[in-house]
Amino acid sequence: MMRNESSSSSSSGESVVADVGRRRSTCGYCKSGRRSSITHGLWANSLTVYDYQDLLDRGWRRSGCFLYKPEMETTCCPAYTIRLRANDFSPSKEQLRVSKRMQRYLDGIWDGKKQEHDEKPGNSQGHVHDDELSNSFRMGSLGRNEQKTKEEELSDYLSKQIDDAIQLFVKSKDLPCDIQYPKGIVKMVSQTKKRRLVEGSEDLLYTSNISFQIAAILKREKSDENDVLVLEGKKDSLVANGSSYNLSSKYISEELANVLQHLVEVPDLSVKACNGHLNFYSAVKEVHSDKDSHLVALSKECSLQESKGHGVKPEKPQRKKRKLEILLNRSSFDPEEFALYKKYQTKVHDDEPGSITQHSYKRFLVDTPLIYVPPTGDDSVPPCGLGSFHQQYRIDGRLIAVGVIDILPQCVSSKYLFWDPDLAFLSLGKYSVLQEISCVKENQHNCSSLQYYYLGYYIHSCSKMRYKAAYRPSELLCPLRYKWITFDVAKSLLDRARYAVLSDYANMQNGDSASDQELGKLLDQQHDDPGDGDLNDSHVGGDQKTLNSDSDSSDDELLPETNDHAAVTIENGDIGRIFLDLRGTRLRYQDLQLALRPDDRAQVEKQLLRYMKVVGPQLSERMVYLLG
């Protein structure tokens, strides 16, 4: 086992790596968890931030000091490197809602501790308690700003209930669960719009067109599956295929309304389906002026109190504002962080407490081979420097989340996040992504090359990993030619095949959508000719798995080297230029090869050729390769 000495040494500023071979593990993304995933592995004694940036751009990632690269063509769940240019980021309504929810919590307007009784710790979506919603629905004497906040809370609550209703509807109708359904969004109905509607719509408060979106997605999913069947020559299956997808928006809205009647627990609020729309109605009257309008509940209790002269408003309790601090520290062991990590892993991921040790935590999230680069005062290094960091999120001094990130010359690379399960309603996972994107933007003033935010691996075949594409506009790395392809272009190919050489499609269409015939022909060509299979690899267990070269897991086995290159010819000094460390002596392989016996030379050259192919010629000449 190699020891990590990178934190104390490596002042020479060079990358020193050792090859740990190809490894097989059970896939962490398949539903069965039994299918195999294969990676190439390197152990880094030290690594410059510049070399690691180049490794990222060839599909590598790190777990502690262990570097891994998926064998994309052989794995069951191909993992594509995904990134986002920070200055081009355009937040969605849902992402903006996360920031607003945090701000309301910090301002003391929203007491986030009052959650739905059935909320799970692993769900980062916020909830508002039913009693609070009921009160906000009835109170019409609030000021304009407070009333707007209450209306937003009710809107958030109804949106969440629609999301839950969609999940129940999908399960009950045996609809595909591996596609990403839209988020439920409700909108307030303005007075102007109500006047244009039929008589009796004055009690209409909110509406949602989610049923039309679901119907469109199901129609497109059926069309995609039929296209695949045609490409596979299974035309006889078209009659039965996707019959349950033929659902109209009207039918979907009626089914969702039936489900919502049992989910929504706000008094004086009802839900009905109307021509494909989901409408929410109130049993209270509306009082409005030319300048503003708000809800006034005419409950008997309130009326009686006013008639008895009890209408004096109680003194409002003082709002308790909270202070959020985001602190950036260089990677090191912190007992408080470890305690939070242990709490997170046991409550969110159901890990056994005894399996979470300081040693495993350090090896996963503290140990780093990256050589720290201090600020230089020019525009090449940000004020915090370059290297591995822990970004702490604290509210009133309490540690609530920790983001483990690498700040590199061209990007901020997100590695892992753990947070307090008691604050799941704050959507800290989504909130941290927004903050890390902001970190890129802020540091651009002092480091002009810092442009991108890397979200790790994107796995199109795993619905839980598709959320990363919601941060738009993102790009995926082609696994063969290492070119960046816009997600919208890549998605057309990944919808039809788990693995694809993305740059082929992009070059063929220059960003335009291809015909099904052209797309099918391209996929056939890619899968009929495996080509450089060693370059296209798969991920062992995801960003949240601890991948270590000294793993003693029975599911993690070292694979023998392939025999694809029994005879190797060195041309133009290709592998001859690889920089070696042989028992403390540094030299190029071309200076060593003549001293080796023929059998040893063939074995070493086969190993070096595989190494050069997975890291690339430039890195193989720049990094120091430990030759055992």
The CATH number covering residue 152 comes to 3.30.1360.70
Task: Please give the average per-residue pLDDT across 113-117, as a whole number.
Answer: 46
- CA–CA distance, 493 with 512 (Å, rounded to integer): 12
Tell me: do 375 and 407 sit in the same domain. yes
Cis amide prior to 121 (ω within 30 degrees): no
Tokens of 372: 């720290």
Residue 253 has pLDDT above 60, yes or no: yes
- CA–CA distance, 83 with 57 (Å, rounded to integer): 10
Q: CATH number for the domain including 472?
A: 3.40.630
Is 31 or 291 the better-scoring residue by pLDDT? 31
pLDDT digits (tens, 9 = 90+) for 398-450: 999 999 999 999 999 999 999 999 999 999 999 999 999 999 999 998 899 99
- CA–CA distance, 551 with 332 (Å, rounded to integer): 22
Q: Within 10 A of 339 (CB to CB), how many other CB atoms are there? A: 11
Asked if residue 467 is part of any domain, the answer here is yes
pTM of the predicted model as reported, rounded to 2 decimal places? 0.63
pLDDT digits (tens, 9 = 90+) for 552-577: 333 456 665 554 443 334 344 489 99
Tell me: do 334 and 291 sit in the same domain. no
- CA–CA distance, 80 with 227 (Å, rounded to integer): 24
Tell me: do 360 and 391 sit in the same domain. yes
Tell me: do 168 and 265 sit in the same domain. yes
The residue among 280, 307, 334 that closes a domain is 307
pLDDT at 131: 38
| SS3 of residue 474 by DSSP | strand
Task: Report how far apart the first and last C-alpha atoms of the chain are (Å, whole number).
Answer: 13
pLDDT digits (tens, 9 = 90+) for 498-550: 899 998 776 655 544 445 445 444 444 443 333 332 222 223 333 443 343 33
Asked if residue 505 is part of any domain, the answer here is no
- CA–CA distance, 128 with 121 (Å, rounded to integer): 15
Q: Which of 116-125, 249-258, 275-284, 509-518 is the least confident region?
A: 116-125
Tell me: do 141 and 258 sit in the same domain. yes
Q: 227: pLDDT confidence band, cut at 50, 70 and 90?
A: low
Is 113 or 243 the better-scoring residue by pLDDT? 113
- CA–CA distance, 538 with 526 (Å, rounded to integer): 17
Asked if residue 530 is part of any domain, the answer here is no
Judge contact between 404 and 364, C-beta under 8 A.
Answer: no
Tell me: do 361 and 442 sit in the same domain. yes
Task: Please give the average per-residue pLDDT across 331-343, as a whole number.
Answer: 97
Tell me: do 284 and 390 sit in the same domain. no
Tell me: do 130 and 206 sit in the same domain. yes
The residue among 459, 483, 507 that closes a domain is 483
Task: Please give the average per-residue pLDDT across 459-468, as a whole number.
Answer: 88
Asked if residue 504 is part of any domain, the answer here is no
Residue 103 has pLDDT above 90, yes or no: yes
Q: 205: pLDDT confidence band, cut at 50, 70 and 90?
A: confident
- CA–CA distance, 189 with 269 (Å, rounded to integer): 15
Q: Which range of residues forms the domain containing residue 447?
A: 82-87+325-483
Across-strand partners of 43?
18, 66
Asked if residue 187 is part of any domain, the answer here is yes
pLDDT at 430: 96
Q: Within 10 A of 357 (CB to CB), how many other CB atoms are there? A: 12
Residue 235 has pLDDT above 90, yes or no: no
Tell me: do 133 and 266 sit in the same domain. yes
Asked if residue 179 is part of any domain, the answer here is yes
Q: 174: pLDDT confidence band, cut at 50, 70 and 90?
A: confident
Judge contact between 202 and 284, C-beta under 8 A.
Answer: no
pLDDT at 234: 52
pLDDT at 121: 43
**What DSSP element (H or E) covers 344?**
helix 335-348
Judge contact between 297 and 138, C-beta under 8 A.
Answer: yes
Tell me: do 448 and 362 sit in the same domain. yes
Task: Please give the average per-residue pLDDT across 55-81, as a whole number.
Answer: 94
Asked if residue 423 is part of any domain, the answer here is yes
Asked if residue 339 is part of any domain, the answer here is yes
56-93: b or e for each residue (b if 16 or more CB lie within 10 Å)?
bbbbbbbbbbbbbbbbbbbbbbbbbbbbbbbeebeeee
- CA–CA distance, 344 with 72 (Å, rounded to integer): 31
Task: Please give the average per-residue pLDDT across 168-194, as a whole number.
Answer: 80
The number of distinct structural domains making up the chain is 3
Q: Which of 52-66, 91-105, 118-132, 342-356 is the least confident region?
A: 118-132
Tell me: do 362 and 434 sit in the same domain. yes
Residue 4 has pLDDT above 90, yes or no: no
Residue 127 has pLDDT above 70, yes or no: no
